[in-house]
Amino acid sequence: MWIADGWKDYEVLDCSKGEKLERWGRYILVRPDPQVIWDAKKLSPYWDKKNGHYHRSSKGGGEWEFFDLPEQWSIRYKELVFHLKPFSFKHTGLFPEQAANWDWFGEKIRTAGRPVKVLNLFAYTGGATLAAAKAGAAVTHVDASKGMVSWAKENARASGLQDAPIRWIVDDCVKFAERELRRENRYDAVIMDPPSYGRGPKGEIWKIEDAVFPLIGLCERLLSDTPLFFLINSYTTGLAPAVLAYMLGNTICKRRGGRVNAEEIGLPVSSTGLVLPCGASGRWEA
């Protein structure tokens, strides 16, 4: 498992009964987590000191209960700054486990010894974009949500990256990749974090089991003659790391060689020493 253990402003304090207790900077949140199916004794005293609690509804969805939580606050990962705010669907605008990947590809970019162009698809609020830009890459950030792209720009400004070579694109990721291929634009690295299900800005339907393998094949054609890496993340239940490895192997390795690794990604739990699984990632490198 690849573990995001470099955080100072974020921490999983404890887990029990379908919920995780987290510290986001100064604030304590309780959120549901489908991986936490065990009923363990709650070891952390912070369960009774929470600032926000997302309650899952038996009918789907849920709602927040707040206890002295601001509308927005910020945390830092190394030299990056991220604005946070509670979404109506339990999220905060950041997936801290992805820091395991930021560290990996950041080092590859810094030691490449040449300019690196990165394409980041389904780029959300820009965690991977900022990590790549901070390492020295020129990044094209693509997301179908105008609001998410605006949020990512705010994070870039907060991180001192407002003048970094980042192209901010609001578009359907598949259609944008197809246009880039026709325009003969090429990239040294591709990052993608596709959702299980979603819609593009014009109502385009995305279902990961139908669309992700063709998209990987399309993006392989967008790689330059000297590609550096390809990263795919998945939070889709049932999409095992081996599946990510097989997809990368049957597209990129078949044409480019190189090697593939795929693992679960996770976050350490302070009270128990366990590691909480948080999805999976597949990495190709030349």
Q: What is the pLDDT of residue 237?
A: 79
pLDDT at position 123 over 70: yes
pLDDT, tens digit, 9 for 90 and up, residues 15-33: 999 999 999 999 999 999 9
> What type of residue is 244?
L
pLDDT at position 200 over 80: no
60 neighbors 74 (Cβ within 8 angstroms): no
**By three-state DSSP, how is residue 151 classified?**
helix
Q: What is the pLDDT of residue 198?
A: 79
What is this structure's pTM? Answer: 0.94
pLDDT, tens digit, 9 for 90 and up, residues 220-241: 999 999 999 999 999 987 789 9
Q: What is the pLDDT of residue 201?
A: 64
pLDDT, tens digit, 9 for 90 and up, residues 134-189: 999 999 999 999 999 999 999 999 999 999 999 999 999 999 999 999 999 999 99
Average of per-residue pLDDT values in the chain: 95
Q: Over range 124-139, report the average pLDDT.
A: 98
Q: What is the pLDDT of residue 261?
A: 98
> What type of residue is 22?
E
pLDDT at position 204 over 90: no
Round to whole Å and give the CA distance between 142 and 93.
Answer: 16
The share of the chain scoring above pLDDT 90, in percent, equals 89
Confidence of residue 60 (pLDDT cuts 50, 70, 90): confident
- Both structure tokens of 30: 């309780």
- Give the residue among 137, 149, 138 at the shortest CA–CA distance from 173: 149
Q: Where do the domains of the chain lie, and which CATH numbers do they carry?
A: 2-73 (2.60.40.1180), 96-285 (3.40.50.150)
pLDDT, tens digit, 9 for 90 and up, residues 43-54: 999 999 999 999
- Give the residue among 138, 198, 132, 127 at the shortest CA–CA distance from 166: 138
The share of the chain scoring above pLDDT 70, in percent, equals 99
Q: What is the pLDDT of residue 194?
A: 93
Q: Over range 119-139, report the average pLDDT.
A: 98
